[in-house]
């Protein structure tokens, strides 16, 4: 079952439940009449469901699965790995895609509304390109650090400090630009939270999944044929772990900024 096929029926089920509440309970239910409102609530709901799936699996990998696998002997670990990880990684990586696409579209709508209110239609495209460009540069810097994790950057504390510097710099640049256009707290908060989510999404596909594909194949070969793990397996496992742990820590400020978008107005444009 695809993630979209899983999400869409739940959305329409929720609409029907509300209709039932109206009929049985006498509650006044008045749905918005414009298509944009329906699109936005569907995007946000899809974003929540997919994001919960994505982060839930991330927390499972870091807090449960990794410590558990370390306690197993190599043969058993290979069998468990080869069976568990393909399915878990399928949901993990595709949940990240749905989460990012839904969030990106929602962010587009916010920027379009603010550009329209400012009387500058092209501001949306300008803001979106700068936002995306800044966070892509931040990601490629971080990706380079992860590729160098076989050396000194394999130290988690050093890598964490450097990533914090890069992420803070990217957030400052994005806020400095968007705040100059009378952006709302919602837009500014999502600009930072969505930027962190973009780095996490690219980490999944650009580092974690690339490493895991090989690790899954090697563990399957070990479990089924007794083929020894190649020497580079430890390096790839370390990279995947560091990228996942980075995403784990980035998820906390990400969730703060996403919640602050509607519930903690502390940012405003000039």
- Give 112-142 pLDDT, tens digit per residue: 988 888 788 888 899 999 999 999 999 999 9
Q: Is residue 22 scored above 60 in pLDDT?
A: no
For the whole model, what pTM was predicted?
0.88
Read off the pLDDT band of 149 (50, 70, 90): confident
Q: How much is the mean pLDDT over the chain?
A: 90
Give the whole-number percent of the chain exceeding pLDDT 90.
71
Q: Is residue 13 scored above 80 in pLDDT?
A: no
Q: Is residue 189 scored above 60 in pLDDT?
A: yes
**Residue 155 DSSP code:** S
How are the residues of the chain apportioned to helix, strand and coil, as percentages rounded to the nearest 5? 85, 0, 15
What pLDDT, on a 0 to 100 scale, did the predictor assign at position 133?
A: 97
In angstroms, the CA 130 to CA 252 distance is 24
């Amino acid at each position: 079952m695809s993630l979209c096929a899983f999400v869409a029926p739940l959305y329409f089920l929720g609409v029907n439940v509300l209709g039932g509440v109206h009929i049985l309970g006498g509650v006044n239910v008045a749905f918005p009449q414009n298509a944009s409102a329906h699109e936005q609530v569907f995007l946000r709901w899809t974003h929540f469901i997919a994001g919960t799936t994505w982060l839930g699996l991330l927390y499972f990998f870091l807090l449960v699965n990794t410590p558990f696998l370390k306690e197993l002997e190599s043969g058993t670990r290979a069998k468990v790995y080869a069976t568990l990880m393909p399915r878990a990684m399928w949901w993990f990586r595709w949940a990240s895609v749905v989460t990012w696409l839904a969030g990106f579209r929602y962010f587009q709508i916010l920027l379009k509304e603010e550009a329209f209110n400012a009387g500058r239609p092209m501001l949306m495209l300008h803001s979106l390109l700068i936002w995306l460009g800044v966070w892509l540069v931040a990601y490629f810097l971080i990706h380079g650090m992860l590729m160098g994790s076989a050396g000194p950057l394999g130290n988690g504390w050093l890598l964490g400090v450097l990533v914090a510097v890069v992420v803070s710099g990217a957030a400052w640049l994005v806020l400095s630009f968007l705040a100059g256009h009378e952006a709302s707290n919602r837009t500014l908060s999502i600009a930072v939270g969505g930027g962190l989510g973009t780095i996490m999404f690219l980490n999944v596909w650009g580092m974690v999944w690339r490493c895991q594909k090989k690790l899954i194949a090697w563990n399957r070969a070990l479990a089924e044929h007794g083929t020894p793990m190649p020497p580079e397996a430890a390096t790839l496992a370390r990279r995947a772990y560091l990228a996942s742990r980075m995403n784990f820590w980035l998820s906390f400020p990400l969730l703060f900024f996403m919640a602050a978008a509607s519930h903690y107005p502390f940012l405003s444009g000039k």
